[in-house]
Amino acid sequence: MQRLHRQAHARIWMVLALLLPAIIVLALVIRQNGPTEAPPVRLSAPQGSP
């Protein structure tokens, strides 16, 4: 009997070993960061609210 799943396993991981790090890098590249210098602005509560 042949062990075809072992060959499939090697091929799948050859692809994933390239794909997964690329996905992480892409996710970090497109990540949006807010301004670091601007201080946070506290919103005041509407008039008449408890």
Under the rule (CB under 8 A), what is the footprint of another protein? 1-6, 8-10, 12-14, 16-17, 19-21, 23-24, 26-28, 30-32
For residues 49 and 30, give the distance between their C-alpha atoms in angstroms, rounded to a whole number.
39
Residue 48 C-beta: closest distance to another protein, Å? 25
Plot region of 40 (φ>0 → left; ψ -120 to 50 → alpha; else → beta): beta
Of the pair 27, 41, the CB lying nearest another protein is at 27
Pick between residue 4 and residue 41 the one whose CB is nearest to another protein: 4
Residue in 32, 15, 11 with CA at minimum distance from that of residue 23: 15
